[in-house]
């Protein structure tokens, strides 16, 4: 493997993809949530064709890009494998006007991202930086996110694809590729056509820290409380006014105060209020329910139903409406049936000279939803750091290593019947 070529390819791709604004939009009410995600999709489609990938197809309506690298095995042995990454960036920080730059040989100190605006990434605030002393880092100018989540994954997958297409002497089975929209806002690869994708097994690439992987996620639901009040002039309000904001506040006080994201870790579940808006007549509280354990997860949903009943008894049953929408389930329930996928992934990481790290993922991935749709799909980290914010960065070496890991997976699948 020519590491120099791969190094330059992933660096160039990450810089180029980062400049394309693909930010998704929560609560848009349609999919894809933003048309600008298609700008990257068009680029990937043309690039896949140029490097020699087969069956390239861009589903413009659903904003999904597909490709396939056919098996070159003489006896057609091997199990088909797929790789999936998402094209959108998070709405947590601006994705417009991204201005990536490369810091050469990081020295371990503070990094001036924007001299004119006095924006500095302080090493003391981000201890993981110390792991990358001496490496090249792709950073922002401190005014936008970078988009390494998940464009670092796309850069690695595309570079792997180019390498395999240029080196037919490397034997492999069928390899399916897909790039999807809206992961950051709950899209969960909903419009990925599994028949067109082709592979029956796959890996998503998404997450912090090189060499980390996930085979377990939260069970997840979203709960929305709607409160209907009655407004009247404050001078004559006694016995008549029903304040919807009071009802929302009452609910907030009923939630377990220590079972919030900021107080939990590991496999501990939580309730997370993501928005609370209202006035006297109408209020809405939107919150997330999360737990790794299925039974505890159901108990959390039941607890919120009881809260709604209790609030209804106090204020009137017709004044409290609760809607719970399931989002995704713990993918470990599916992946435990295909343990070899994890064995292959761990071995591929080790062959790249990295010690694999697995922790229950305190979030969701496209792979969680896809696993329950019949596509077992563990998740490999993309290797970026500080995602969803202005201090995001991508070590170029991490992307190179991910290319090596992907190639190792393809080699192992070649021998898997």
For 138, other C-beta atoms within 10 Å of its C-beta total 25
pLDDT at residue number 167: 95
d(CA 11, CA 157) in angstroms, rounded, equals 13
Could you give the 3-state DSSP secondary structure of residue 106? coil
Q: What is the pLDDT along the chain (417 residues), one digit of tens a residue?
A: 777 899 999 999 999 999 999 999 998 999 999 999 999 999 999 999 999 999 999 999 999 999 999 999 877 667 899 999 999 999 999 999 999 999 999 999 999 999 999 999 999 999 999 999 999 999 999 999 999 999 999 999 999 999 999 999 999 999 999 999 999 998 999 999 999 999 999 999 998 999 999 999 999 999 999 999 999 999 999 999 999 999 999 999 999 999 999 999 999 999 999 999 999 999 999 999 999 999 999 999 999 999 999 999 999 999 999 999 999 999 999 999 999 999 999 999 999 999 999 988 898 889 999 999 999 999 999 999 999 999 999 999 999 999 999 999 999 998 775
Q: Which residue matches tokens 């009452």?
A: 250
Query: Can you give the pLDDT at residue 354?
Result: 98
Q: Are 310 and 271 in contact (CB under 8 A)?
A: no
DSSP-derived 3-state class of residue 45: helix
What the block records as the tokens of 84 is 């999936």
**Start-end of CATH 3.30.70.360 domains in the chain:** 219-327
CATH 3.40.630.10 in the chain is located at: 3-216+331-414
Tokens of 86: 């998402």
Q: From 315, 271, 268, select the one nearest 292 (Cα to Cα).
A: 268
Q: Which residues are catalytic?
A: 88, 183
Length of the chain: 417
Cis amide leading into 301 (omega within 30): no
At 303 the pLDDT is: 98
Residue in the structure block whose two tokens are 């201090």:
391
Cα gap 39→45, rounded to integer Å: 10
The two tokens of residue 370 are 């896809």
The fold adopted by the segment(s) 219-327 is: Alpha-Beta Plaits (3.30.70)
What CATH number should be reported for the domain whose range is 3-216+331-414? Answer: 3.40.630.10
Give CA torsion, residues 296, 297, 298, 303, to 10 deg: 80
Backbone angles phi, psi at 177, to 5 degrees: -125, 145
d(CA 393, CA 395): 7
Cα–Cα separations (whole angstroms), residue 218 to 187, 295, 315, 328? 16, 12, 33, 8
Cβ burial, residue 384 (10 Å; 0-12/13-18/19+): buried
DSSP letter assigned to residue 30: S
């Amino acid at each position: 493997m020519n590491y120099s070529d791969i190094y330059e390819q992933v660096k160039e791709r990450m810089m180029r993809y980062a400049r394309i604004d693909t930010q998704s939009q929560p609560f848009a009410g349609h999919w894809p949530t933003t048309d600008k995600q298609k700008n990257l999709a068009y680029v990937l489609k043309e690039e896949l064709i140029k490097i020699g990938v087969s069956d390239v197809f861009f589903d413009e309506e659903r904003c999904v890009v597909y490709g396939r690298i056919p098996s070159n095995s003489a006896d057609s042995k091997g199990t088909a494998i797929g790789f999936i990454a998402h094209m959108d960036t998070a709405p947590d920080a601006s994705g417009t006007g991204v201005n990536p730059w490369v810091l050469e040989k990081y020295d371990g100190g503070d990094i001036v991202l924007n001299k004119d605006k006095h924006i500095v990434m302080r090493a003391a605030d981000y201890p993981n930086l110390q792991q990358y002393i001496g490496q090249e880092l792709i950073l922002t100018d401190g005014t936008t996110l970078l988009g390494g989540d998940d464009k670092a994954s796309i850069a690695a997958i595309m570079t792997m694809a180019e390498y395999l297409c240029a080196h037919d002497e490397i034997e492999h089975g069928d390899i399916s590729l897909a790039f999807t929209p809206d992961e950051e806002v709950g899209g969960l690869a909903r419009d990925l056509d599994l028949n067109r994708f082709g592979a029956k097994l796959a890996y998503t690439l998404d997450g912090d820290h090189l060499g980390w992987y996930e085979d377990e996620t939260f069970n997840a639901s979203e709960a929305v409380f709607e409160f209907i009040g009655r407004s009247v002039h404050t001078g004559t309000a006694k016995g008549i006014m029903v304040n919807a904001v009071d009802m929302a506040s009452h609910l907030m006080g009923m939630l377990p105060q220590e079972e919030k994201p900021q107080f939990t870790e590991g496999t501990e579940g939580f309730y997370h209020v993501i928005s609370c808006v209202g006035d006297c007549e109408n209020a809405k509280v939107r919150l997330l329910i999360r737990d790794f354990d299925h039974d505890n997860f159901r108990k959390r949903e039941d607890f919120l139903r009881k809260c709604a009943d209790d609030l209804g008894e106090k204020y009137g049953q017709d004044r409290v409406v609760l809607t719970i929408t399931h989002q995704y389930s713990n993918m470990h329930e599916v992946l435990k049936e295909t343990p070899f996928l994890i064995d292959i992934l761990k071995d591929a990481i080790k062959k790249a000279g990295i010690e694999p790290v697995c922790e229950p993922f305190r979030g969701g991935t496209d792979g969680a939803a896809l696993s329950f749709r019949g596509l077992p799909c563990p998740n490999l980290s993309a290797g970026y750091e500080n995602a969803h914010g202005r201090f995001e960065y991508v070590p170029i070496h991490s992307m190179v290593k991910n290319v090596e890991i992907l190639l190792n997976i393809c080699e192992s699948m070649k021998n898997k019947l």
